[in-house]
């Protein structure tokens, strides 16, 4: 009997000691800063020379594709906010991730594609913010639904919405900035 009591008491002490190693502070493993991806896409027009093997006739065809394009050092600067933010993307990036203001329904960014070149465009995004619960450890954040987007045409050819739901998925392509080659 005494051996059994010692065994049970020792087991209780071990379990209590292991339990004491668990941290009590909240550990948030999900992103709580939601960003909108502005993706750089170029319009590429190629001429393909086709030869019919049976008749021997040749024909030229235009093939239009929209591959992603990399920018040397893209940057984005928010405009007309009380506290503006500046976002610097990685060199040779195919996109720049911008933040949205939950206290407003629109935000404008000056997008510069190369820090050494002054050419830039102003992109204005219109959206609706919605409150979203992440977890007890992370609390709440805001998701966004993009209604429309406008852009100047200094360098850009056009701008389109690719995916209007802005959530915590960082890899989603939200807005496409199209350039002519």
Partner 1 sequence: MKNIIGLLGIVFFLQQAHAQQTGMPPETDSIAATADSLTIPQDSSRVKSKKPPYEHQIKIGMDISRIAFNLMYPSRQSYEFQGDYLLRNDLYVNVEAGFGKGKVDYAFLKYQTNSFFLKAGVQRTLVSRISNKDFDVVFVGAGYGIGIGKRTEATYNVSSSFGGNTEGTVAPQNFVVHWGELMAGIRVEFLPRVFAGWTIRGKFLLNSGIFKELSPNFIAGYGKGDVATSFDFNFYLCYALRWGSSEPTP
Vertex 109: Cα angle to 107 and 113 (nearest 5)? 160
- Strand locations in the chain (E): 35-51, 58-65, 75-79, 86-88, 95-99, 106-112, 120-135, 139-151, 158-161, 165-166, 175-180
130 near partner 1 (CB under 8 A): no
* Residue 10 or 66 with smaller CB distance to partner 1: 10
* Residue 23 or 56 with smaller CB distance to partner 1: 23
User: Shortest distance, CB of residue 1 to partner 1, whole angstroms?
Assistant: 5
Question: 97, 88 in Cβ contact below 8 A?
Answer: no
End-to-end CA separation in angstroms for the chain: 86
Site residues (CB under 8 A) for partner 1, limited to 21-50? 24, 26, 33
* Residue 81 or 148 with smaller CB distance to partner 1: 81
CA distance 3 to 40: 72
* Residue 103 or 119 with smaller CB distance to partner 1: 103
19 near partner 1 (CB under 8 A): yes
Residues at the contact surface with partner 1, assessed by CB under 8 A: 1, 4-5, 8, 11-12, 15-16, 19-20, 24, 26, 33, 78, 81-85, 99, 101-103, 131, 133, 135-136, 139-142
């Amino acid at each position: 009997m005494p051996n059994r009591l010692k065994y049970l008491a020792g087991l209780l002490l071990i379990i209590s000691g292991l339990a004491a190693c668990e941290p009590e502070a909240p550990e948030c493993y999900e992103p709580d800063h939601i960003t909108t991806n502005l993706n750089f896409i170029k319009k590429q027009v190629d001429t393909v020379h086709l030869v019919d093997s049976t008749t021997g006739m040749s024909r030229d065809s235009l093939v239009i594709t929209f591959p992603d394009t990399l920018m040397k050092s893209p940057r984005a600067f928010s405009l007309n906010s009380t506290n503006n933010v500046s976002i610097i993307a990685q060199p040779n990036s195919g996109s720049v991730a911008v933040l949205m203001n939950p206290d407003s329904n629109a935000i404008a960014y000056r997008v510069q594609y190369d820090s050494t070149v002054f050419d830039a465009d102003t992109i204005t995004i219109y959206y609706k913010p919605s409150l979203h619960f992440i977890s007890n450890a992370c609390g709440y954040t805001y998701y966004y639904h993009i209604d429309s987007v406008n852009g100047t045409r200094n360098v850009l050819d056009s701008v389109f919405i690719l995916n209007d739901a802005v959530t915590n998925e960082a890899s989603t392509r939200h807005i496409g900035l199209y350039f002519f080659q």
